[in-house]
Amino acid sequence: MMNQSGGDAGLEVRLRTLRILWAVFLTTVGLYLLVSVFSRPSAVDIAEGEHDNPTLLMALAVAGLSTVAISFVLKRSFYARAAERRDPAQLQ
């Protein structure tokens, strides 16, 4: 590897960090897929109608939608703080 200046080295470290984070996110999504495939109800349970749990479904839907809404609020506040301080590194 070639010798890099201080600014380029910091950029490489940040890029490597982002790549690692994206790999972890994609791995997590894959694991969620595997859990959903292996935890599906059996044909007998589906025929008997024992697989419905509306309370759990609503709780998970509310939890999922609220985390999405909170992420948009946090993103907006982080963008405003980064613009106020004129520090683009805070957007990471």
C-alpha of 15 from chain center? 18
pTM of the predicted protein model: 0.52
Q: What is the pLDDT of residues 6-65, one digit of tens each?
A: 567 788 888 899 999 999 999 999 998 898 888 877 766 666 766 667 788 889 889 999
Q: Give the pLDDT of residue 8.
A: 74
Q: What is the pLDDT of residue 6?
A: 58
State which residues form the domain around 14: 1-40
Let me know whether 34 and 2 are in one domain.
yes
Tokens of 73: 């609020």
Give yes or no: residues 35 and 56 share one domain.
no
Residue type, 28: T
Say if residue 1 is in the same domain as residue 36.
yes
What's the number of domains the chain is made of? 2
Q: Is 4 part of any domain?
A: yes
Q: Can you give the pLDDT at residue 31?
A: 92
Question: DSSP H helical segments within 1-92, as ranges?
Answer: 6-38, 43-48, 54-85
Q: Are residues 32 and 61 in the same domain?
A: no
**SS3 label, residue 54:** helix
Please tell me the number of Cα atoms within 13 Å of 9 on its side-chain side.
6
45 in any annotated domain = no
Q: Give yes or no for residue 66 having a pLDDT over 60.
A: yes
Residue 1 has pLDDT above 50, yes or no: no
CA 61 to CA 63: how far, in whole Å? 5
| Domain-embedded: residue 46 | no
